[in-house]
A and B are shown apart, each in its own frame.
Chain A
Amino acid sequence: MSDTLTVTREEVSLDVPWNVIVHDDPVNLMGYVTLVLMKIFGYPESRATAMMMEVHKRGRSVVWTGEREKAEFYTQQLQAHQLKTSMEKSE
């Protein structure tokens, strides 16, 4: 008598992650952008500063990636701090 091994596969539809993007702006102070990233995401100053510098030099920086609902929350928080922010599906 042989044992039968049954393998069950469950397909889980994983939502595509979303990027939250901060865009460059001629008015916002660099120190303020750093402070907002630290405050909203809890990033250490070194990481927040690196992201701010990317915004400043490249015009934009992906500051967070994850599920859509949280991405919307963070985008709203950043916009409320007057940072030009958008979100897009992560490729």
Chain B
Amino acid sequence: MKVGPTLQGGLRIDVETPLDWMVLRCISYDARGGGLDLADRVSEAMGEDDSLADWEEYVLPELRDGFNGQLDAIEGALSIAGSGEEPAEIHIARDQADLWYGGLNQARLALEERYGFSTADPEEMTPGKRSAWFRSQFYLHVQSVLLEHVMR
């Protein structure tokens, strides 16, 4: 797989093998799979103020919709790009960069919550955890390219 910025200000991902497809499909799988409620997580520091009930009732559902929308957009883009076996190009336009960045962030957050990579040594990980760590590093790399070349 190759990931790089385009002259149009977006990002292109060249998907070369079925394994590449699998890694890309894991973005939403990882993000949705851990049972992490990201809306709860980003608002957990809100405290016990009276308005918290309103926040839970009115704001959190909107946040959840937004976060789900990011993953839906990635799943949609992958589905349009190809069948999941053949080489393909995925183009992320500038106005789609926030959605992709957010979806990748959700996947990294979910993996971090599940495995606690920041306190683990990759050489001592189980195969499953190491595989998740490599995916997390890949997501981080794509996020970095998006941030450096597309979102700024």
Residues on A close to B: CB < 8 A?
Answer: 21, 23, 26-29, 31-32, 35, 72, 75-76, 79-88
Task: Show 20 A/B contacts (Cβ-Cβ < 8 Å), sorted by A.
Answer: A21-B45, A29-B140, A29-B144, A31-B147, A32-B105, A35-B151, A76-B63, A79-B42, A79-B59, A79-B63, A82-B38, A82-B105, A82-B106, A84-B43, A84-B44, A85-B42, A85-B45, A86-B43, A86-B46, A88-B47
Docked pose: A23 CA to B42 CA in angstroms = 9
Q: Judge whether B105 and A84 touch: CB under 8 Å.
A: no
Docked pose: A90 CA to B142 CA in angstroms = 39
Where chain A touches its partner, the secondary structure class is: mixed
Which residues on the A side are within 8 Å of B43 (C-beta)? 79, 84-86
Docked pose: A75 CA to B44 CA in angstroms = 12
Where chain B touches its partner, the secondary structure class is: helix
Closest to B117 in A: A26
B2 on the interface (CB 8 Å rule)? no
Docked pose: A26 CA to B105 CA in angstroms = 11
Closest to A82 in B: B105
Contact among B41, B45, B102, B118 for A86, CB-based, below 8 A: B45
B101 on the interface (CB 8 Å rule)? yes
Docked pose: A87 CA to B47 CA in angstroms = 9
Which residues on the B side are within 8 Å of A86 (C-beta)? 43, 45-47
Which residues on the B side are within 8 Å of A28 (C-beta)? 105
Docked pose: A88 CA to B59 CA in angstroms = 17
8 Å CB contacts to A: which residues of B16-72?
38-39, 41-47, 51, 59, 62-63, 66-67
Closest to B41 in A: A84
Docked pose: A83 CA to B45 CA in angstroms = 11
Closest to B152 in A: A35
Docked pose: A72 CA to B152 CA in angstroms = 26
Closest to B119 in A: A26
Closest to B67 in A: A82
Docked pose: A27 CA to B106 CA in angstroms = 9
- A53 to B: closest C-beta gap in Å: 17
